[in-house]
Structure 1
Amino acid sequence: MSQGNLDTLLKSIKYFDKFSMGAQKVVKLAGEEAQRLQRSTVGSEHLLLGLLREGKSNAARVLQVLGVTLERVRKAVEDAQETEENTAQAEITFSADGSMALEMAMKVAESQFLPPGSAGQLFGSLSASEDEAKKILQDGKLPQRWEALGVTLEDVRKALAEAKGRQVEIPFDQGSPANTPTEEDARRRHPLFRVDIRKLLLGVLRVPESHGVKILQGLDVPLKDIRTLLLLLDLGTLPISYGEYAQRFTLPARKAWRLAHEEARRMQDTYVRSDHLLLGLMAEGNGVAATMLAEMGVGLEKMREQVTPGHEMSDWSMPSEIKLQPFLKDIIELASNEARRLYHPAIGTGHLLLVLLQEHEDQSLEADVLRWLGVDLDKLRAGLRSALKASVSEEVGSEVEEEGIYAGNASIASIEKDLGSRELDKTILATYQFKPEVWEVLVYARITAQNLVQRVGPEHLLINLARKPDGPLRTVFQELGIDYAKARAALEKRSGRGTEAGTVVQRQSALCQACLLLAVDEAERRGGRGAPITNEHVLLGLLREEQGFIAKLLGDLGTSVEVVRTKLVSAL
């Protein structure tokens, strides 16, 4: 198969321009794998190989964690099909299951649209500089993408007036008729439609009789675990493979953190955002991140021109008003995971920048800023990884902390303290064989606790066990008439909401950690040492607290510890 044939193959995919750059790369790599195997068709098995060759996405990481390597899949593909003769120059097409996998990936992408009649339920926003907004009004013509989203010139005029010299944010209703198309072609041409690498993998999984799925099953990979781990990477910050957890920041990283706050202050922003952190990493000047950015020709002043203030104003006479953008909180934890994955003792500027660039397949604000500055993102990522693997280290910071700059829970000292507490959470998960279903409950428990401004406790585990119960748990909860909505309402009625600002790193309470260890004990009692821990074991662990909050919460739900335990043991 020649390069010309490969190009023809890619052009044959309808709506291929709506695939992300990463997804397009995966499909191209799939074609190359078919070429290497002298096949005239590209199937779901080749898409699987393309995903593994891409290697950097969350989809690839999930497959690797579950033991699905490029070498193993290549061997399985070679064993399953005989090499065709004299097809290297033949016209290349997609096989039936390859075409179906792509179709299913697009179906997954379509599922993001709200149903018709959802107006007012969910809003997005478009950003523009004041000059850009003024030019649009002067020309009397909206960008095509904005028009397709239902934005009007009056919306731009109103947003410009409210911006008062700051960044212009134009809201649009994701549930409006313009954004809830009913025809397939209209949905797939819509600006909100996008097929990324994650959706490609889910598309393969949605074709149960495909060669790709059969290969995964032949490698003893539970398909449910793939979906669960993909969800965990989207929603949480727990590492999905073994690794210790960095608790400290290097001196350059501490300086960059301080400078990020100062950038937010300079712009009079209410929140410290990830683009402020990007500016802080550049302004720091000497760390791995600043060095790599300088080598790519990036200058601080040019970068500042691309980072505009947020929409809200703030009175900076009170430094304690500063808050962290929720996404930035996750960046901190993910950078910690990255540091320890590389066996580095502390979080450096290189880890922070690498994580910023890994998110959302180059669709983030930080990626946009760097692209506008002419940076080759793939080259920058490669340079960062090379520098980090070469153990280019930065001096570890001390516990000395500048006062008066941060909110109480946004300082380096408070973050490092919280990261230390989180160490035990991750050690427990790394030491024992918790099933992905348990990790999913932990991620949702963390989100619930965060929404209620509480530390993660056994009660948050309990109500999220009722979120999507399966197997024996479903039987027990159905018999007792317990569901997630009832359990959460009972929790809020009994405990209310927290009043203090949530911590940057959402920690589990000591009691929650104890319950996880009790779940381990329940699993090993029944299955022997090293037995996998399921959600049923977690519930049994929670029920060992016979007189505490769990017992009271179950009482509010019309049952008791003893009744739930009896029914669960009977169902196992």
Structure 2
Amino acid sequence: MDIALNNFTPRAAQVVALAKKEAVRKKNGFIGPEYLLLGLIKLDEGAACQMLRKMGVNLEAAHALLEEMISSRPVGEAYLDNPIYTPRTKKVFALAGKEAMLLNQTYTGTEHILLALIKEGDSGACKVLKQLGVELENIREELRKFLDPSYKGVTAAHVAEILQQEISFEGQAGKVQVKLGDLKCISMQLASGHSINVEPKVVACLVALSRGKGIVSSSALLTLLDSLEAPEETK
């Protein structure tokens, strides 16, 4: 098995095997992210499918949309006997590993693959989920709740409290650290048990984005930090 998949659970490995099998069946030499979603649906086991059903996703409709999408695309004839992963699929594998790491887990399961498909954002798989009315951030939240029953997000009241102090970098925060220059940062405890350094203005922005609901999810925080660049004055 590909070294990148060493930590995959048996079900996650089955998803990858099914994705390859479907690519061969479709006479396609390339395995794109849509084949991974198709593999998830065909397996119909594990956390990913449980959460999709809980979100009200019609897996049969998703399957039909994926079949239609795949059938309309050109094939890679040079690799028909042994389909290869597309760059986006390789990115999904990397993101799945990262999602597992952020959740302090040593394995990569079907739930992490689903999170990665969502986070990748540009693939046909993600477009199918959107077409079915899936709010991608919401499904990420449901998956995080599924993996961590104690998950409650970060409340505005907690933010107000920690803004009064500066706490040193600790735990596994380095795994999700972003470049914030020399600005003083605060440390925010995530539901997964990790700590992450957050510039106070970023936290204030997240609180504002909560639109008065008084809660900001840790995944929303991570999503923002993933795309955040250091402020001009710190460069």
- Interval of TM-score (by shorter of Structure 1 and Structure 2): 0.5 to 0.7
> Which deviates the most, 100-109 or 33-42?
33-42
Q: 2:3 & 2:212 partners in 1: Cα distance?
A: 47
Tell me the equivalent position of 2:129: 216
Distance in 2 separating the partners of 1:42 and 1:69:
23
- Indicate the residue corresponding to 1:97 in structure 2: 88
Q: Counterparts of 1:62-73 in structure 2 under 5 Å?
A: 62-73=51-62
Number of aligned residues: 165
Residues 407-446 of structure 1 mapped to structure 2, 5 A cutoff: 444=151
Show the counterpart of 2:202: none
CA contact (8 A) 2:28 2:80 kept: no
Amino acid at match of 1:54: L
SS at match of 1:18: coil
CA distances 1:177-222 after superposition (whole Å, capped 9, x unpaired): xxxxxxxxxxxxxxx7321222111121221112211221122210
- Partners in 2 of 1:45 and 1:28 — Cα distance? 14
What letter is aligned with 2:134?
A: V
**Residue correspondence of structure 1 range 411-490 to structure 2 within 5 A:** 444=151, 467-468=153-154, 477=156, 482-484=157-159, 486=161
Is 1:225 matched with 2:138? Answer: yes
One of 103, 107, 110 as aligned partner of 2:98: 107
Residue number among 30, 33, 36 corresponding to 2:19 in the alignment: 30
Letter in 2 for 1:90: D
Letter in 1 for 2:85: F
Q: Deviations over 1:17-44 (max 9, x none)?
A: 3211111111111122223333211111
Counterpart for residue 80 of structure 1: 69
Q: Distance in 1 between matches of 2:123 and 2:65?
A: 14
1:277-336 Cα deviation digits (max 9, x unpaired): xxxxxxxxxxxxxxxxxxxxxxxxxxxxxxxxxxxxxxxxxxxxxxxxxxxxxxxxxxxx
Partner SS for 1:220: coil
Q: Structure 2 matches for 1:321-336, cutoff 5 A?
A: none
* Secondary structure in 2 matching 1:194: coil
Matches of 1:86 and 1:14, distance apart in 2? 23
Matches within 5 A, 1:69-468: 69-81=58-70, 82=72, 84=74, 87=77, 89-111=80-102, 193-236=106-149, 444=151, 467-468=153-154
- Structure 1 spans left out of the alignment, 5+ residues: 1-10, 114-191, 237-442, 445-463, 470-476, 488-534, 540-572
Is residue 39 from structure 1 mapped to residue 18 from structure 2 by the alignment? no
- Quote how far apart the aligned CAs of 1:485 are: 7.1
Alpha-carbon distance in structure 2 between the residues aligned to 1:73 and 1:24: 21
2:9 to 11, 14, 20: 20
Q: Distance in 2 between matches of 1:73 and 1:112?
A: 27
The higher-RCO structure (CA 8 Å, 6+ apart) is: 2
Deviations 1:135-163 (A, max 9, x none): xxxxxxxxxxxxxxxxxxxxxxxxxxxxx
C-alpha distance in 2, partners of 1:234/1:32? 29
Is residue 9–residue 109 contact of structure 2 (8 Å, CA) maintained in 1?
yes
Give the Cα separation in 2 of the matches to 1:100 and 1:74: 22
One-letter identity of the residue aligned with 1:486: E
1:32 and 1:109 mapped to 2: Cα distance? Answer: 25
* Distance across 1 between alignment mates of 2:16 and 2:75: 23
CA distance in 1 between counterparts of 2:110 and 2:121 reads 19
Q: What residue in structure 1 maps to residue 166 of structure 2?
A: none
**1:225 Cα deviation (Å)?**
1.2
Q: Is the 8 A contact 1:52 1:69 kept in 2?
A: no
Q: Give the CA deviation at 1:14.
A: 2.0
Go from structure 1 to structure 2 and tell me whether the alpha carbon gap of 1:26 and 1:60 turns closer, same or farther (over 3 Å shift).
Answer: same
Residues 396-428 of structure 1: per-residue CA shift (max 9 Å, x gap): xxxxxxxxxxxxxxxxxxxxxxxxxxxxxxxxx
State the identity as a percent. 24
Unaligned stretches of 5+ residues in structure 2: 163-209, 215-235
In 2: Cα distance, 1:112 partner to 1:232 partner: 11
In 1, the alpha carbon distance for the partners of 2:123 and 2:136 equals 13
Q: Which residue of 2 aligns with 1:553?
A: none
1:309 corresponds to: none
Secondary structure of 1:483's aligned partner: helix
Larger Rg: 1
Give the Å deviation of 1:537.
9.1
The 3-state SS of whatever aligns with 2:134 is coil
Alpha-carbon contact 2:38-2:66 (below 8 Å) kept: no
Say whether the 8 Å CA contact 1:53–1:70 is kept in structure 2. no
The aligned counterpart of 2:197 is none
Shift in Å, 1:49: 1.4
Amino acid at match of 2:95: M
Amino acid at match of 1:94: Y
Structure 1 residues 207, 536: closer, same or farther in 2, change over 3 A? closer
The CA RMSD over aligned residues, in Å, is 3.1
TM-score of the two chains, using structure 1 as the length reference: 0.26
